[in-house]
A = this chain, B = another copy of it.
Amino acid sequence: MGKIVNNKIKLEFLSKGENVALARITIAAFVSQLEITLSDLEEIKVAVSEAVSNAIIHGYQNKPEEIVTMTGILKGNTLILEIVDQGIGIPDIQKAMEPAYSTDPERTGLGFVFMQSFMNEVKVESQVNCGTKVILTKQINPDLKNMAVS
Protein backbone atom coordinates (compact mmCIF):
# COMPACT_ATOMS: atom_id res chain seq x y z
CA MET A 1 0.00 0.00 0.00
CA GLY A 2 1.15 3.53 -0.69
CA LYS A 3 2.08 5.52 2.37
CA ILE A 4 -0.53 7.90 3.70
CA VAL A 5 0.26 11.53 3.10
CA ASN A 6 -1.28 14.45 4.92
CA ASN A 7 0.04 17.73 3.75
CA LYS A 8 -0.89 21.32 3.11
CA ILE A 9 0.53 24.15 1.02
CA LYS A 10 -0.45 27.63 0.03
CA LEU A 11 0.98 29.49 -2.93
CA GLU A 12 0.40 33.17 -3.58
CA PHE A 13 1.53 34.72 -6.84
CA LEU A 14 1.06 37.69 -9.13
CA SER A 15 -1.67 37.42 -11.73
CA LYS A 16 0.70 36.92 -14.63
CA GLY A 17 0.42 34.32 -17.34
CA GLU A 18 3.87 32.90 -16.54
CA ASN A 19 2.64 31.95 -13.10
CA VAL A 20 0.06 29.54 -14.46
CA ALA A 21 2.89 27.12 -15.22
CA LEU A 22 4.41 27.82 -11.80
CA ALA A 23 1.12 26.86 -10.12
CA ARG A 24 0.91 23.66 -12.18
CA ILE A 25 4.47 22.63 -11.39
CA THR A 26 4.05 23.31 -7.68
CA ILE A 27 0.86 21.26 -7.49
CA ALA A 28 2.43 18.48 -9.54
CA ALA A 29 5.34 18.32 -7.07
CA PHE A 30 2.87 18.43 -4.18
CA VAL A 31 0.69 15.52 -5.34
CA SER A 32 3.71 13.51 -6.45
CA GLN A 33 4.34 12.89 -2.75
CA LEU A 34 1.58 10.32 -3.28
CA GLU A 35 1.69 7.31 -5.56
CA ILE A 36 -0.06 8.78 -8.56
CA THR A 37 -0.68 7.77 -12.15
CA LEU A 38 0.61 9.99 -14.94
CA SER A 39 -2.93 10.44 -16.16
CA ASP A 40 -4.21 11.65 -12.75
CA LEU A 41 -1.23 14.00 -12.58
CA GLU A 42 -1.95 15.39 -16.03
CA GLU A 43 -5.63 15.90 -15.20
CA ILE A 44 -4.82 17.79 -12.01
CA LYS A 45 -2.40 20.02 -13.91
CA VAL A 46 -5.08 20.87 -16.46
CA ALA A 47 -7.70 21.64 -13.80
CA VAL A 48 -5.27 23.92 -11.92
CA SER A 49 -4.29 25.61 -15.14
CA GLU A 50 -7.94 26.35 -15.97
CA ALA A 51 -8.82 27.74 -12.57
CA VAL A 52 -5.68 29.87 -12.34
CA SER A 53 -6.03 31.12 -15.92
CA ASN A 54 -9.62 32.13 -15.15
CA ALA A 55 -8.54 34.05 -12.05
CA ILE A 56 -6.00 35.96 -14.15
CA ILE A 57 -7.99 36.55 -17.35
CA HIS A 58 -11.52 36.89 -16.03
CA GLY A 59 -11.16 37.66 -12.33
CA TYR A 60 -8.39 40.22 -12.71
CA GLN A 61 -8.94 41.03 -16.41
CA ASN A 62 -5.24 40.52 -17.06
CA LYS A 63 -4.09 43.13 -14.55
CA PRO A 64 -0.65 41.74 -13.58
CA GLU A 65 -0.33 43.33 -10.14
CA GLU A 66 -3.06 41.33 -8.39
CA ILE A 67 -2.61 38.25 -6.23
CA VAL A 68 -3.93 34.75 -6.90
CA THR A 69 -3.93 32.28 -4.01
CA MET A 70 -3.83 28.53 -4.42
CA THR A 71 -4.20 26.18 -1.48
CA GLY A 72 -3.57 22.45 -1.67
CA ILE A 73 -4.56 19.89 0.93
CA LEU A 74 -3.79 16.19 0.80
CA LYS A 75 -5.79 14.02 3.19
CA GLY A 76 -5.03 10.38 2.58
CA ASN A 77 -5.70 10.04 -1.13
CA THR A 78 -8.04 13.02 -1.39
CA LEU A 79 -6.72 16.19 -2.94
CA ILE A 80 -8.52 19.46 -2.23
CA LEU A 81 -7.45 22.53 -4.17
CA GLU A 82 -8.72 26.06 -3.70
CA ILE A 83 -7.97 28.79 -6.21
CA VAL A 84 -8.95 32.23 -5.01
CA ASP A 85 -8.97 35.68 -6.60
CA GLN A 86 -10.25 39.05 -5.36
CA GLY A 87 -11.39 40.00 -8.81
CA ILE A 88 -14.62 40.99 -10.52
CA GLY A 89 -16.56 37.91 -9.44
CA ILE A 90 -19.14 35.87 -11.33
CA PRO A 91 -22.72 37.23 -11.45
CA ASP A 92 -24.33 33.91 -12.50
CA ILE A 93 -22.28 30.90 -11.47
CA GLN A 94 -24.61 28.33 -13.00
CA LYS A 95 -24.47 30.04 -16.37
CA ALA A 96 -20.68 30.47 -16.14
CA MET A 97 -20.31 26.73 -15.64
CA GLU A 98 -22.38 25.81 -18.70
CA PRO A 99 -20.31 24.13 -21.38
CA ALA A 100 -19.17 26.54 -24.09
CA TYR A 101 -20.35 29.59 -22.16
CA SER A 102 -17.76 32.36 -22.14
CA THR A 103 -17.89 36.11 -21.66
CA ASP A 104 -14.75 36.39 -23.78
CA PRO A 105 -15.29 35.95 -27.53
CA GLU A 106 -11.69 34.77 -27.93
CA ARG A 107 -12.19 31.88 -25.51
CA THR A 108 -14.03 28.57 -25.69
CA GLY A 109 -15.96 28.20 -22.46
CA LEU A 110 -14.20 24.87 -21.92
CA GLY A 111 -12.47 25.79 -18.67
CA PHE A 112 -15.16 24.56 -16.31
CA VAL A 113 -15.84 21.60 -18.62
CA PHE A 114 -12.24 20.46 -18.18
CA MET A 115 -12.29 21.08 -14.42
CA GLN A 116 -15.46 18.98 -14.14
CA SER A 117 -14.17 16.21 -16.38
CA PHE A 118 -10.83 15.90 -14.64
CA MET A 119 -11.73 16.37 -10.99
CA ASN A 120 -14.34 14.58 -8.88
CA GLU A 121 -15.96 17.76 -7.67
CA VAL A 122 -15.94 21.43 -8.66
CA LYS A 123 -17.47 24.01 -6.36
CA VAL A 124 -17.55 27.72 -7.07
CA GLU A 125 -18.19 30.52 -4.62
CA SER A 126 -18.25 34.04 -5.97
CA GLN A 127 -19.45 37.53 -5.27
CA VAL A 128 -19.51 40.32 -7.81
CA ASN A 129 -16.68 42.79 -7.18
CA CYS A 130 -15.33 40.67 -4.32
CA GLY A 131 -13.86 37.70 -6.06
CA THR A 132 -14.10 34.01 -6.76
CA LYS A 133 -13.10 30.80 -5.03
CA VAL A 134 -12.96 27.55 -6.98
CA ILE A 135 -12.74 24.36 -4.93
CA LEU A 136 -11.54 21.28 -6.78
CA THR A 137 -11.56 17.83 -5.22
CA LYS A 138 -10.08 14.63 -6.58
CA GLN A 139 -9.65 11.10 -5.29
CA ILE A 140 -6.21 10.04 -6.34
CA ASN A 141 -6.00 6.40 -7.30
CA PRO A 142 -2.80 4.71 -6.32
CA ASP A 143 -0.55 3.87 -9.22
CA LEU A 144 -1.05 0.09 -9.07
CA LYS A 145 1.37 -0.63 -11.87
CA ASN A 146 4.25 1.22 -10.28
CA MET A 147 3.37 -0.01 -6.83
CA ALA A 148 3.69 -3.61 -7.92
CA VAL A 149 7.37 -3.17 -8.67
CA SER A 150 8.32 -0.80 -5.89
Residues of A with Cβ closer than 8 Å to B?
A: 5, 7-14, 16, 18-19, 21-22, 25-26, 29-30, 33
Contact = CB atoms under 8 A, between A and B. Distances in A.
A10 B11 contact: yes
What is the copy number of this chain in the assembly? Answer: 2
A73 to B, nearest CB: 10
A13 B8 contact: yes
Given A10-B12, A26-B26, 13 more contacts: A7-B14, A7-B16, A7-B18, A8-B13, A9-B11, A9-B12, A9-B19, A11-B11, A18-B33, A22-B26, A22-B29, A25-B25, A25-B29
A12 B8 CA distance: 8
A3 to B, nearest CB: 10
29 contacts: A5-B18, A7-B13, A7-B14, A7-B18, A7-B19, A8-B13, A8-B14, A9-B11, A9-B12, A9-B13, A9-B14, A9-B19, A9-B22, A10-B10, A10-B11, A10-B12, A10-B13, A11-B11, A11-B12, A11-B26, A18-B33, A21-B29, A22-B26, A22-B33, A25-B25, A25-B26, A25-B29, A26-B26, A26-B29
